[in-house]
Structure 1
Amino acid sequence: MWTLIWIIACMASFLQTPQPAAAANLLPSANFVEMTRMDCVGNPTYFAHLNCKILPPLNRTLEFSAEVVKSLPALTGYLRVSLPNPKKVFTQIFDITFDVCKAIRDRNRRLLIDFLVRTLARNSNVVMRCPFPKGNYYSKNISVNDLPPMLTENDFMANFDLFIPKVAVLLNVTLQGHLFDTAKENARKKKYL
């Protein structure tokens, strides 16, 4: 039952338009993500020296770097999120396909897309315009925060594909981890301390 509530809450939050940043800062972050596995595969025609990794010891941040060897024109992103069912088989709960260039230009973007753009722009030299020029790019200390507070503790798997429509798949990133509720985690720590 809680999974159904979580799915409905996620979909509602991702489909609404974002609230002003000042209002978002009033709500404390109620969740944090601990990542267990990350795989990145890049098309060698477009990317060289692709590197992505989860940073120990807490596994709450990651880094990404790559050399873009060709200018990247119109890009499309495809994001899928899956949760395990009671039999521990991951089941896709939603997917979204979006025009990356339009998402960068639009100020009135969906909450999920806004979250992705803000997360990539932080601690990064990634050029947020299209077409993406050739060059070396990095994003350091990427942490997943500012998640909607209605999300509950659970394992997850997220897949992100970046492609040029009808031409080539450029990049695939798969991330697995666990979403923790900060209040529950603090209660567990108090119990054992």
Structure 2
Amino acid sequence: MLPITWWCGIIVCSSLRIHLTDTAKLIPNMGYYIEMKEMECVGNPSYFADLYCKITPPKNRTMEASVKIMQPLSAFSGVLRVSIPNAKKVITQIFDITFDVCKVLRERKRKILIDLLVNTLEKNSNAKTWRCPFPKGKYESRNISVTDLPPMLTESEFYVNLDFFIPKVAIAMNVTLHGHLYEVAKERHRRKKYL
């Protein structure tokens, strides 16, 4: 009798763990959304051509981007900076992360923001796999949306500056983004108040 009880317990616990894991994945998606206001991309023509990035209306919650890599890139680094204004509109930098793009793609142990960036771009890209060296060719990402946000954030305007560079050689690309992070519960409360 005891072995049957154990098997039932194992099956129930395994099933429960799967459902809890799935639910935990949904929590950040339900908590926040991002509305983008401005986006600009500038590339060094020796490395990138036909650089294009755009926020897609009507809700401004997704974006699309494409670039043509002009020569294979084997040593490639990036700097991600995130800033927010305080109550007096003074911009405060809250993240400043420098990373080796090739190392980030090889390893799965990444900082949360870098992991979010890589997963978001990979998910909607025409490239089957992202790895170094990056061969010449055209890369596109469509319907890029930021959804897997950590649950400890607060509503705020934000500025993102992402620089890619070839170490000790040249700046390769700069992407800037200005947007607003909204908390779903607060937004629903505001709508109820005014409707």
TM-score class, shorter-chain normalisation, is 0.7 to 0.9
Identify the residue that residue 119 of structure 2 maps to in structure 1.
Answer: 118
Identify the residue that residue 167 of structure 1 maps to in structure 2.
Answer: 169
TM-score (norm 2): 0.84
Shift of 1:27: 2.3
From 157, 160, 164, the equivalent of 1:158 is 160
Distance 2:168 2:82 in 1: 23
Shift of 1:187: 1.2
Give the match's secondary structure for 1:183: helix
Q: Deviations over 1:32-84 (max 9, x none)?
A: 10000001000011111110000011010000001111111111110001111
* Counterpart code for 2:167: P
Give the match's secondary structure for 1:27: helix
Structure showing greater Rg: 2
Identify the residue that residue 137 of structure 1 maps to in structure 2.
Answer: 139
* Counterpart code for 1:109: R
Identify the residue that residue 79 of structure 1 maps to in structure 2.
Answer: 80
* Counterpart code for 2:27: L
Identify the residue that residue 100 of structure 2 maps to in structure 1.
Answer: 99
Distance 1:105 1:34 in 2: 31
Identify the residue that residue 43 of structure 1 maps to in structure 2.
Answer: 44
Distance 1:24 1:159 in 2: 29
> Aligned pairs, how many?
173
Structure 1 gap ranges (5+): 1-20
Moved over 6 A (4+): none
Structure 2 gap ranges (5+): 1-20
Distance 1:138 1:128 in 2: 12
Distance 1:178 1:26 in 2: 21
- The 5 Å alignment of 1:172-187 reads 172-187=174-189
Bigger helix share: 2
Identify the residue that residue 27 of structure 1 maps to in structure 2.
Answer: 27
CA RMSD of aligned residues (A): 1.5
